[in-house]
Structure 1
Amino acid sequence: MTVNPSWVTEEVDTDRPSIARLYDYLLGGTHNLESDRKVAREAMRAAPGLLKLVRENRDFLRRAVRHAVDAGIDQFLDLGSGIPTRGSVHQTAQAINPEAKVVYVDIDPVAVGHGRELLADNPNATSVQGSLLEPAAVFDSPDVKALIDFDRPVALLFLSVLHFFPDEQVLPALETYRDKVAPGSHLVFSVATNAVNDDAANMVRGIYADAWTDCVMRSQEQAAALLGDFDVVEPGVVFPVYWQTGTSLDTETAPVHHNYFVGVGRKPE
């Protein structure tokens, strides 16, 4: 008989995998179930570099957050955040500035519940239920407004989530976010691509489609369009290991696990 963890409440369908819990597992977290681990193992068999890719993406998140803090930003809105576990935004930002404010937004009530539990003793961070595709509702949320002042620069983060939605949904939402935030704000993203390894990317895409929904694979140009009219922060839209690591760009010999593009934009004054 399988004994579920204490955080698994009656409303949790333990047979249905969760994207948030799958990423938690890939990052070495403990808030995941066998249904999540099963899909993760299938994806890792299809693309042996997946685990390394996910963790490189988390390393990119930390570098982008530190870049934002160095630029004077002390408030962060993580959209489609999943579970704020290992190496999350609040851990990175508050290690530099303990007063940094962080709001995690996710549509999954289980992920939000985990987040609130993990952040219960952190007055400068919270987890809120909401859809990143409904920016008006996010901006109007009392829990968001309690920590985030949109008259000041804020970092908007969309990590490993936009590839679950097509451009006709994503681009209008991002335009609203960019219009709403103050000059000096940052927009940070990472999205799936099959620009380097089409076979592995498409195999993972198929596994995800069976469990949830199809993934949109974006080219470098399509990924760059997510930044709109924001100024692109160097070195531009690249694979995670090339973003401000000192590693030279070489798309011709990029390892096969580079199936993400990442980028950071800054709203001009």
Structure 2
Amino acid sequence: MTEQTEWLPRDVDEEIPSAARIYDYLLGGAHNFAADRRLGEKFIAALPSARHVARLNRAFLRRAVLTLSEAGIRQFIDIGSGIPTVGNVHEIAREADPDSKVVYVDNEPVAVAHSELLLRDDPNAAMLQADLLDPEGVFGHPRTAKLLDLSRPVGLLMVGVLHFAAPEHNPAEVMRRYREALPAGSYLAVSHFTADIRPQDMREVSEVMRQSADPIYPRSRSEIAELFEGFELLDPGVVGTALWRPEDESYADEPGASQIYAGVGYKK
């Protein structure tokens, strides 16, 4: 099997779009199928700023990881890590310390397969196929236990993933379980779609995503802030991705600058 095709699991149904592959498409990646691209175009039609929103979300991930690295975090768990693209968490974290360790977690087979291919020669990174709704499965996985010292602080990244948790999944309760699993001194980074901005567009986006394997559930700023219960929010709190410690103030003028809220919290 060639390296170009190793990322494609044999049992993947290419006709069922997935959020991870649509996100890859919006970011300009190549690990997506025709069905993903068709739905991605519908996503853009519903939310014309979609590509900007995706890039701003990816840029928030980078700034959050750098912030945690500056705070001394050297081990990370990236839930809903998606399909690897430029600027993966381990690449960013190792700008601060080449020995930083990362556990990636996703339930999308293409994301898992491609990540395993990327990381196969990396002793300080691992990929798990697991569900974001199963904190115990993530923290209790043998690969997590082998790679990370869970008695020491961890950077938990949940960037662009909790909006896939339906209301009946009680994401606040899921986050309570993650918080309890984290040692003191850990950090949590979250970004999440909202309908506070352009509500009609987001209703249409939600309708589009119901045609995929991964419906989305946008939430209000107050609902997203509740996900940080038990954490101390870092300044500037829960704000649009472009407004969270921007490297360039012009980010605030980008289309879709606040279509996704973002924040970082600290567990004492």
Tell me whether the two structures share a fold, i.e. TM-score over 0.5: yes
Q: Which amino acid aligns with 1:95?
A: E
1:242 equivalenced with 2:207 (yes/no) = no
Per the alignment, residue 193 of structure 1 pairs with 194
Partners in 1 of 2:102 and 2:218 — Cα distance? 29
Quick one: structure 1 residues 183 and 87, their matched pair in 2 at CA, closer, same or farther if it must change by over 3 Å?
A: same
Partners in 2 of 1:230 and 1:247 — Cα distance? 27
Quick one: structure 1 residues 247 and 222, their matched pair in 2 at CA, closer, same or farther if it must change by over 3 Å?
A: farther
Q: CA deviation at 1:10?
A: 2.2
Q: Give yes or no for contact 2:8–2:114 (8 Å, CA) kept in 1.
A: no
Q: Give yes or no for contact 1:195–1:219 (8 Å, CA) kept in 2.
A: yes
Partners in 1 of 2:148 and 2:109 — Cα distance? 21
Partners in 1 of 2:226 and 2:9 — Cα distance? 40
Partners in 2 of 1:247 and 1:195 — Cα distance? 24
Partners in 2 of 1:177 and 1:109 — Cα distance? 23
1:128 equivalenced with 2:128 (yes/no) = yes
1:229 equivalenced with 2:230 (yes/no) = yes
Partners in 2 of 1:84 and 1:246 — Cα distance? 23
Q: CA deviation at 1:7?
A: 3.1
Q: Which amino acid aligns with 1:192?
A: F
Q: Is there any run of 5+ residues in structure 1 with no aligned partner, and where?
A: none
TM-score by length of 1: 0.91
Q: CA deviation at 1:72?
A: 0.3
Q: CA deviation at 1:79?
A: 0.8
Q: Is there any run of 5+ residues in structure 2 with no aligned partner, and where?
A: none
Which digits, 9 at most, give the CA deviation of each residue in 1:198-242, with x for residues without a partner?
121111111001223432221111110011110000000000010
Partners in 2 of 1:69 and 1:6 — Cα distance? 32
Query: 1:1-269 maps to which residues of 2 (within 5 A)?
Result: 5=5, 7-169=7-169, 170-245=171-246, 255-256=255-256, 258-268=258-268
TM-score by length of 2: 0.92
Partners in 1 of 2:247 and 2:123 — Cα distance? 36
Q: Give yes or no for contact 1:49–1:257 (8 Å, CA) kept in 2.
A: no
User: How many pairs were matched up?
Assistant: 264
**3-state SS, counterpart of residue 96 of structure 1:** coil
Q: After the TM superposition, which segments of 4 or more aligned residues of structure 1 sit over 6 Å from their partners?
A: none
Partners in 1 of 2:176 and 2:19 — Cα distance? 25
Kindly, what percent of the aligned residue pairs are identical?
40
Q: Which moved more, 1:253-262 or 1:143-152?
A: 253-262
Which digits, 9 at most, give the CA deviation of each residue in 1:122-158, with x for residues without a partner?
2111111111111111111001111111110001111
Q: Give yes or no for contact 2:12–2:109 (8 Å, CA) kept in 1.
A: no
Partners in 2 of 1:232 and 1:134 — Cα distance? 24
Q: Which amino acid aligns with 1:218?
A: R
More RCO (CA 8 Å, sep 6+): 2
Partners in 2 of 1:256 and 1:88 — Cα distance? 23
**3-state SS, counterpart of residue 113 of structure 1:** helix
**3-state SS, counterpart of residue 25 of structure 1:** helix
Q: Which amino acid aligns with 1:161?
A: V
Q: Give yes or no for contact 2:19–2:214 (8 Å, CA) kept in 1.
A: no
Quick one: structure 1 residues 43 and 187, their matched pair in 2 at CA, closer, same or farther if it must change by over 3 Å?
A: same
Q: Which amino acid aligns with 1:72?
A: G
Partners in 2 of 1:45 and 1:199 — Cα distance? 12
**3-state SS, counterpart of residue 115 of structure 1:** helix
Partners in 2 of 1:18 and 1:223 — Cα distance? 23
Q: Give yes or no for contact 2:157–2:190 (8 Å, CA) kept in 1.
A: yes
Q: Which amino acid aligns with 1:194?
A: A
Q: Give yes or no for contact 2:19–2:212 (8 Å, CA) kept in 1.
A: no
Partners in 1 of 2:7 and 2:223 — Cα distance? 39
Quick one: structure 1 residues 118 and 17, their matched pair in 2 at CA, closer, same or farther if it must change by over 3 Å?
A: same
Partners in 2 of 1:100 and 1:256 — Cα distance? 32
Q: CA deviation at 1:9?
A: 3.6
